[in-house]
Amino acid sequence: MMLTVDDFDFPLPPELIAQHPAAERSGSRLLHVAGARLTDLRFADLPSLLAPGDLLVFNDTRVIRARLFGQKDSGGQVEVLVERIVDARHALAQVRASKSPKPGTRLRLADAFEVTVTGRAGAGDEFFALELPEGGDFWQLTEAHGRLPLPPYITHAAGSEDESRYQTVFAREPGAVAAPTAGLHFDEPMLARLREQGIAQAWLTLHVGAGTFLPVRVNNIAEHRMHSERFEIPQTTVDAIAATRARGGRVVAVGTTSLRALESAAQSGELKAGAAETEIFITPGYAFRVVDRLITNFHLPKSTLLMLVSAFAGLDTIRAAYAHAVAERYRFFSYGDAMLLERQR
């Protein structure tokens, strides 16, 4: 059966798009989705849904200050959203301007430093390649002069609240331009409570790119090509998953980013440690190799992430869960509420 983007559409009242985080990280709501059974809970109830011997796998990426404003050498205004820092002098970025910059165009950003546009890059050429002069360092310059890149559906400019709440409490490895939002619900008391309950914790890194917000531009989803993201899975995490399997526990991915990294690293049939790039596009019919349960937020209509969760829990199940969430006024997207999904068998 050919699936189209319209199979993943649903009506969403705009007022359900969360513009600010809950007062407390673990104070959000949690919808437990187990086939046809939908249970309304609080995120603080999560430990009661897990058992000793289970394993939570978190993404420890850190969001960089990737949004920069400036002007072309011709004087036109530009907005730059760094997609990826390739190395100290080179980055890929989305560039918004009245006219697309041509190769050789110089941009002065934050009235502090200059970059040169060297061309286009990426699937569909949606990103521009930027280069700093000799001795420049994108890591230092974005941290010093950039702004936190909130998603396009959040209407306010990043403020002090966002500086802390649009990062997970365990963010360690800089490189993402969007937060792994399922992890935003966890605070230190919650993590400690889970450890005390005998629920193991492991880590990986997937740097979420701005491409995560790009729309699917084809009708037949089989024709869509995913953007590439970097990930790294340490051997300790591979070992923790093997130990979880041996004791009969369940592997719980915290977020679609953790799931994508784990499933990408197991494409050979065996989960392997190391660093790699992934363009994995998970749609209904995909055979999951690693993850048993998934903690995730509510995703955009017609998005690749909605397709992923539909593959995981079942398309009809997700349709029913999302209709329930809208009816019960759950909060959607990055600062919204969460779901715990059981994998369909």
Q: Considering the entire predicted model, what is its pTM?
A: 0.94
- What per-residue confidence (pLDDT) applies to 290? 98
Q: What is the largest CA-CA distance in the chain?
A: 64
CB 97 within 8 A of CB 72: yes
Cα(336)–Cα(136) distance, integer angstroms: 38
- What per-residue confidence (pLDDT) applies to 123? 54
CB 99 within 8 A of CB 73: no
CB 101 within 8 A of CB 72: yes
**Buried residues in 280-308 as b, exposed as e (16+ CB within 10 A):** bbbbbeeebebbbbbbbbbbbebbbbbbb
Backbone angles phi, psi at 333, to 5 degrees: 75, -155
| 3-state DSSP percent of the chain in helix, strand and coil, to 5 | 30, 30, 40
Mean pLDDT of successive 10-residue segments in the chain (345 residues)?
91 98 97 98 98 98 97 93 95 92 95 96 78 97 96 94 97 96 98 98 94 78 85 98 98 98 97 96 96 98 96 98 98 98 95
| Ranges of CATH 3.40.1780.10 domains, the chain | 5-63+161-342
**Residue 151: closest CA among 185, 186, 181, 121:** 181
CB 15 within 8 A of CB 336: no
What fold does the segment set 67-145 form as a domain?
Answer: Thrombin, subunit H (2.40.10)
* Residue 235 Cα to chain centre, angstroms: 22
90 Cβ neighbours under 8 A, 6+ residues apart: 129, 130, 131, 132, 138
Please, is 76 exposed, middle or buried when counting C-beta atoms within 10 Å of its C-beta (0-12, 13-18, 19+)?
middle
3-state secondary structure 81-120: EEEEEEECCEEEEEEEECCCCCCCCEEEECCCEEEEEEEE
| Ranges of CATH 2.40.10 domains, the chain | 67-145
Class in CATH terms, 5-63+161-342: alpha beta
DSSP structure string for 274-323: EEEEE-----TT---SS-SEEEEE---TT-HHHHHHHHHH-HHHHHHHHH
- What per-residue confidence (pLDDT) applies to 226? 83
